[in-house]
Amino acid sequence: MFKNMIVYRIAPQWQVDLSQVEEALAKTPFVECGATQEKSLGWVPPRGDAHGLMAESVGGQWVLRFMVESKMLPGSVLNRKVKEKAARIEQETGRKPGKKEAKELKDEAKLDLLPMAFTKQGSMWVWIDPQAHWLVLDTSSQGRADEVVTLLVEALPGLSVALLDTQTSPQAAMSHWLSTQEPPVGFSVDRECELKSADEAKAVVRYARHPLDIDEVREHIAAGKLPTKLAMTWDDRVSFLLSEGLQVRKISFLDTVFEGTKADDGGFDTDVAIATGELSKLIPDLIEALGGEGRTELGGTPPAAPAADAPATADASPAGSPAAAAAGDADDDAPF
C-alpha cells in the first residue's frame, strides 16, 4: 500500500463527514467494460469485500480505491481491419473511401474488434487526511493523478485542492544537498540519482547502487546538470525516491517500522495504520526540508519560513495544474 505519493493540499473550508463521501462515491461504482466499451472507471471497496463501503476510516484516516479497466486494442490490428474494409469497398464500388468515410470505417472496425480485445485493470489508493487537510494519491504519474482528482472534485461538493507547493523547488534543494553533502535534518541521501543537463543536448547521468558523496557528482552539478531524481531515507524508517516534480516514488518501509509487530499482524487496518502513520510524519518533514509550503491559492496556508537546510534562494515550484487547483474542476502500470 502506497508505493508512490502525489500530495495535494485540501482547502481548509472543506468540511464533510465520511458518510457524505461514501454517499457520493457510491453513485459511481466501478463496472467492468461492456462489449464495445473502451474504458471504464469508478470506485471499489478498499477492503476488497463485495458490496463493501467505498470509503473506509482507520484511525481517523480515510482510504478510498479507484479502479480503471481498458481494452487493449493494438494499432496494427485496427489498421489492418480498416484496410480490409476499405479494400472491400474499392472492390465493390471501384472507388477509394475518402477521408470522412475512412474515419467512419475506423470507428466501425473498432466496434468490431472491441468485443474480442483483452482487458487490463489498474487501481489507485487514495488517502484523505481530514485533520491535516491532505489528499494523497498512490501514483507517480501526474496525468493519472489529475484525472482522479478531477473526478473527486466533481463527486464531492465543495472540494477544492491544489498540488503541494514548496518555497524551494525539489530540484534546487537536491542540487544543494548533493553539492554540499549536507542533507536536511532527519534525512539521508542514498545511492541512486539522476542528473540531466538543461541545454539542447539533454545529457543524462544516472547513478544506481553507487555512493553519491564523490567529486564527480559535484562536478556534474557545477557543469549545469540538475538532479531529476534522488534516493533518500527519512528517520531510518522510510526510503523513497524524490523527483523534480515533488513526486515521492518507490516508497519502502524499513524494518524499524515493524519492530514490535508480530509476523501475523497484517490485513487492511494494519497496513493502513502503518502507511498513514509513517507518511503523515514524513510529509511535513519533507515540506520543512523544502523551505515550507508555498502559495497553494486555497487560502489559510501561510508560507513557512525557509528551512536552514535549504538553499537561500531557489525557484518556487508551480502551484499545480489547472485541473487539480480548480474548485469544481498505483500502481505505475495502471491503464489510465
Residue 301 has pLDDT above 70, yes or no: no
Q: Mean pLDDT throughout 15-25?
A: 95
Residue 321 has pLDDT above 60, yes or no: no
Angle, helices 170-180 vs 215-222, to 10°: value is 140
Taking every pair of Cα atoms in the chain, the longest distance, rounded to a whole number of angstroms, is: 79
Residue 306 has pLDDT above 80, yes or no: no
Query: What integer pLDDT is reported at residue 139 of this predicted model?
Result: 96
Query: What integer pLDDT is reported at residue 298 of this predicted model?
Result: 66
Residue predicted with more confidence, 248 or 103: 248
Query: What integer pLDDT is reported at residue 265 of this predicted model?
Result: 63
Cβ contact 311:173 at 8 Å: yes
Angle, helices 99-113 vs 75-93, to 10°: value is 120
Q: Which helix H or strand E contains 283, and what residues bound it?
A: helix 268-289
End-to-end CA distance of the chain: 19
Residue predicted with more confidence, 139 or 89: 139
d(CA 284, CA 2): 17
pLDDT band at residue 296 using 50, 70 and 90 as cut-offs: low
Cβ contact 29:44 at 8 Å: yes
Q: Mean pLDDT throughout 135-161?
A: 94
Residue 312 has pLDDT above 50, yes or no: no
d(CA 4, CA 112): 38
Residue 304 has pLDDT above 80, yes or no: no
Phi, psi of 137 (to 5 degrees): -115, 135
| Digit-coded pLDDT (tens) for 50-103 | 889 999 999 999 999 999 998 888 888 888 888 888 888 888 888 888 888 888
Q: Mean pLDDT throughout 196-220?
A: 92
Cβ contact 243:228 at 8 Å: yes
Query: What integer pLDDT is reported at residue 311 of this predicted model?
Result: 42
pLDDT band at residue 111 using 50, 70 and 90 as cut-offs: confident
Cβ contact 297:322 at 8 Å: no
d(CA 54, CA 23): 9
Poorest-pLDDT segment among 89-98, 245-254, 286-295, 305-314: 305-314
pLDDT band at residue 27 using 50, 70 and 90 as cut-offs: very high
Residue 163 has pLDDT above 50, yes or no: yes
Cβ contact 158:14 at 8 Å: yes
pLDDT band at residue 332 using 50, 70 and 90 as cut-offs: very low
